[in-house]
Amino acid sequence: MTITAAHLGSSKAWTDAQLLYALEEVVEKELNRHLKVAKDWMPHEYVPFSDGRNFPGVFEDGEAWASDQSKVTDIGKIALVVNLLTEDNLPSYHHEIASLFGRDGAWGTWVHRWTAEEGRHGIVMRDYLLTSRAVDPDKLEQFRMAHMAEGFESDNRHSMLHSVAYVAFQELATRVSHRNTGHQSGDPVCDRMLARIATDENLHMVFYRNLLGAAFELAPDLTMQAVRDVVVNFRMPGHGMPGFERAAAQMAIGEIYNMRIHHDDVIQPVLRYLKVLDIDGLGPEGLKAQDELGLYMGGLDDEAAKFDEKLAARKARMAARAGA
């Protein structure tokens, strides 16, 4: 099945301001839909406060942190820190999208609502980590300070359309990372908490994905180029945090987020839902971007297959050692 893109004048004629205005009705529709299906929840209800105890400091009875005080798995601890530090940069994310999307009308209402919902994620994750003693609280705070002191600048801050394309994929990537972290955490309480967060992230993805679909109807060539650029150059928002590369490698081996997951569970579902590679009626630049996107996805699948082979070989070696 093919989709014929509706050209409303030349794609090159669209400016960010014009697209923002043209998409306002879609934003309002998606905002109303989101508010109907999103359920408020209380972060404190997901935290086992009765398991908590004082740390040393102002409390004389404080108990020093030790790595064996939590039931969370090693890979779960690594992923939880990465996920929390990513959520911690919410003030920078809010600044980025508020600057691009504005603070008025439906766009502004969405920006503030999204920020309020995302704020719960950092609250509940930090409370859980400290209460369960899953990570060293001093190091966690040091990491937070270092990460936030660096600030955050989006790779896509130059373009509203690129930013919409990016968050359509990034929200799904975050959902997948949270959900897989919960599965690998070894703690049912952690799993329930991250499942709740993942539900929010999925709803955010749906909002941006549908908005991206509307952008394809308005400016198909420009939107195709934006999707191509975002997919080819995709980076998670936490890429600048201390030790991110090593943590990302461990998360890849631990099957929380890796190349195969990125291809199968993040990029492909959005492209497939919007039928991006089937859109017809594009101009020369749109066709070029579509072809390049298809080639890139084929290469990404090949790289993911190589990673799969290496991961399977590693598992076989570990199993052989355990059985020796």
- Decide if 181 is inside a domain: yes
Q: Which residue in 197, 163, 230 sits closest to 83, CA to CA?
A: 197
Residue 56 in domain: no
- 246, part of any domain: yes
Q: How far is 146 from 148, CA to CA, in rounded Å?
A: 6
Residue 108 and residue 98: Cα distance in Å, rounded? 7
Residue 123 lies in a domain: yes
Collect all residues with Cβ–Cβ distance below 8 Å to 5 and sequence separation of at least 6: 216, 217, 220, 279, 280, 281, 282, 286
Q: Hey, what are 155's tokens?
A: 């790779």
As for how many domains the chain has, the answer is 1
Whether 63 has a binding-site annotation, put simply, is: no
Residue 11 lies in a domain: no
Tell whether residue 117 is among the known ligand binding residues.
no
Residue 62 included in any domain: no
Q: What pLDDT shows up at residue 191?
A: 98
Inside any domain, residue 59: no
Question: 269: burial class by Cβ within 10 Å (0-12, 13-18, 19+)?
Answer: middle
Dump the DSSP string for 30-72. Answer: HHHHHHHH-----GGGGS-GGG--PPSSS-TT-----GGG--S
Residue 171, annotated ligand binder?
A: yes
Q: How many CB atoms lie within 10 A of CB 244?
A: 18
User: CB within 8 A of 251, min separation 6: which ones?
Assistant: 75, 78, 79, 82, 177, 257, 258
Task: Report pTM.
Answer: 0.91
pLDDT value at position 312? Answer: 93
In the prediction, which pLDDT does 324 show?
A: 65
User: What's the pLDDT tens digit per position in 108-146?
Assistant: 999 999 999 999 999 999 999 999 999 999 999 999 998
What is the per-residue pLDDT for 320?
Answer: 86
Q: Yes or no: say if 249 and 314 are a contact pair by the CB < 8 Å rule.
A: no
Please check if 121 is assigned to a binding site. Answer: yes
| 66 within domain boundaries | no
- 239 among annotated binding-site residues: no
Q: State residue 12's pLDDT score.
A: 53
Q: What residue has token string 């064996």?
A: 68
Q: Could you list the residue range(s) of the whole structural domain that residue 200 is in?
A: 16-46+72-323
Q: What is the CATH number of the domain that holds 117?
A: 1.10.620.20
Has 201 been labeled as part of a binding site? yes
Give the whole-angstrom CA distance, residue 7 versus residue 282: 8
pLDDT in tens, the chain (324 residues): 333 334 444 445 788 889 989 999 999 999 999 999 999 999 999 999 999 999 998 887 889 999 999 999 999 999 999 999 999 988 888 888 888 888 889 999 999 999 999 999 999 999 999 999 999 999 999 999 988 888 777 788 788 999 999 999 999 999 999 999 999 999 999 999 999 999 999 999 999 999 999 999 999 999 999 999 999 999 988 787 888 899 999 999 999 999 999 999 999 999 999 999 999 999 999 999 999 999 999 999 999 999 999 999 998 998 888 776
Calpha distance 193→87 (Å, rounded): 14
Helix axes 24-37, 188-218, angle to 10 degrees: 160
